[in-house]
């Protein structure tokens, strides 16, 4: 397998990494509950789990 003849400098690696930029998260407003949440993620509202505006799961009552 081919290997580099000489070692790459630290500066060369750092130049490659400079293109990384933190992006701000995209938020959406749910049509059913009206709450703001992360896009493409399920979110909890009043003990109920919603995804794509539809109810996915409800919190089951605790048994004593």
pTM: 0.56
Q: How confident is the model at residue 53 (pLDDT cuts 50, 70, 90)?
A: confident
Tokens representing 23 are 């992006």
Distances (CA, A) of 1 to 5, 6, 23, 26, 39: 12, 15, 37, 43, 44
Q: Which residues face 37 on adjacent strands?
A: 28
* pLDDT at res. 1: 81
Tens digit of each residue's pLDDT (9 = 90 or more) over 6-38? 888 888 888 877 777 788 889 999 888 888 999
Torsion over CA: 47, 39, 25, 22 (sign): positive
């Amino acid at each position: 397998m081919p290997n580099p003849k000489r070692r790459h400098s630290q500066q060369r690696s750092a130049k490659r990494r400079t293109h990384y930029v933190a992006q701000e998260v995209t938020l959406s407003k749910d049509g059913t509950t009206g709450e703001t949440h992360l896009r493409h993620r399920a979110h909890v509202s009043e003990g109920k789990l919603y995804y794509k505006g539809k109810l996915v799961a409800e919190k089951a009552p605790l048994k004593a």
